[in-house]
Amino acid sequence: MEQLLLIHVFLLLSLSISDFRIIPGAASLGINYGQVGSNLPPPVKVISLIKSLGLSKARIYDTNPEVLTAFANSSIELVVTVENAMLETLADPQQAVQWVNSHIRPYYPATKITGIAVGNEVFTDDDTSLATYVVPAMVNIHAVLAELGFDSNIQVSSPSSLAVLAVSYPPSAGCFRSDLAGVMFQLLHFLQSVEATFWINAYPYFAYKDDPNGVSLDYALFKPNQGMVDPYTKLHYDNMLYAQIDAVIFAIARLGFNGVDVQVSETGWPSKGDPNEIGATTYNAAMYNRNLLRRQLENEGTPLRPSTRLDVYVFALFNEDLKPGPTSERNYGLFHPDCTMTYNIGLSNLLRTPSISSATVALTSSASKGAKEGYQSLVYWTFVYLPAFQVFMARRRL
């Protein structure tokens, strides 16, 4: 009788949340505007280039005053970044006040700052001590924004590398590394409390480069392929990026933060690499970005969250010749520094198709789509909560 009651309670819980939705705001494609180059165009010219593509969102990796000033009244939404070296300083509340007053307040709202990335890939940085400062710095910066009344328009988060996961395949097995579980719990608790997004830098290129015999290139490039079926959820994946995102969603759920939104702060493919960087070609880069953009413009979500359209920031706007590391690091750009195309992905034509808005894509739904998501949500919650019930039942038998 007790088992039957527990099953009924479990089914009621699952069904009550099977219609759960994350309602996205205005969604559009974004571009990462890095500046680690010796011959990049001035910010004013960059604004014209971004607008010519029909894009309305950009992300920079600092708070360069020249960029912030130039982007004033441009209508381009801008995510700025706190450099990793500043994290320890901003863990001090008073330093956070000074930072916001000197790096955000003079430019906002004329410059449409919509996000502050507190560090970048800090949790997998070689300097492991930095991880302890991320959440305190985020809390302090958000508190200052709230005091100024900016917090409703400026989101605070911290982009993570996919390497924060211990397991990413299959997606339903997604979980964070055990050495990061504590700090990831703190990060997610903060994000949930302020209704902010978990930002992930996800690159199928790296998975293909590391295992070209085991990873299908077509699967990595969004090209027609057999795909894979998650053995536990039975969800079908026809591309690696969506599988990576769903693995992150499952990892977050395992820590108890099921409602936190996940968006892509970086993804891209290099057009050139060293001899050992398999797959870094102009053709593959063009295919990846072109197919990704087409998917986004079709309002696609991942198999786990099919009606939640991903915010995607493509990496990157320019090839940057001063970046250290292998050749690929200097060749992710859609453009050369002289503003000529590295390759043509047809972005401006795609965005200007009459049926597609360049800034906002309405989320459409149908009865069949709703039913599909209801089933997938039930699968998701069942997979998340069933182990807890099994543990509970085992304890009752003792």
Between CA 96 and CA 103 the distance in angstroms is: 10
Residue 274 Ramachandran class (φ > 0 left, ψ -120 to 50 alpha, else beta): beta
Helix (H, G, I), strand (E, B) or coil at 113: strand
Q: What number of other Cβ atoms are within 10 A of residue 107's Cβ?
A: 19
Q: Rounded to whole angstroms, how far apart are CA atoms 21 and 228?
A: 25
Interacting residues of 15 by C-beta distance below 8 A, sequence separation 6+: 378
Measured between alpha carbons, how far is 350 from 346 in angstroms, rounded to an integer?
Answer: 6
What does DSSP say about strands 228-229 and 113-118: parallel, antiparallel, or unpaired? unpaired
* Residue that the structure tokens 């009459």 belong to: 354
* H-helix segments, 104-214: 131-148, 181-194, 204-210
Catalytic positions: 121, 266
Nearest residue to 162 (alpha-carbon basis) of 31, 73, 262, 231: 262
Angle between helices 2-17 and 367-397 (to 10 degrees): 150
In this structure, what token pair is assigned to residue 48? 């014209």
From the list 218, 203, 381, the residue with the least C-alpha distance to 304 is 381
Using CA atoms, how far apart are residues 297 and 359, in angstroms rounded to an integer? Answer: 10
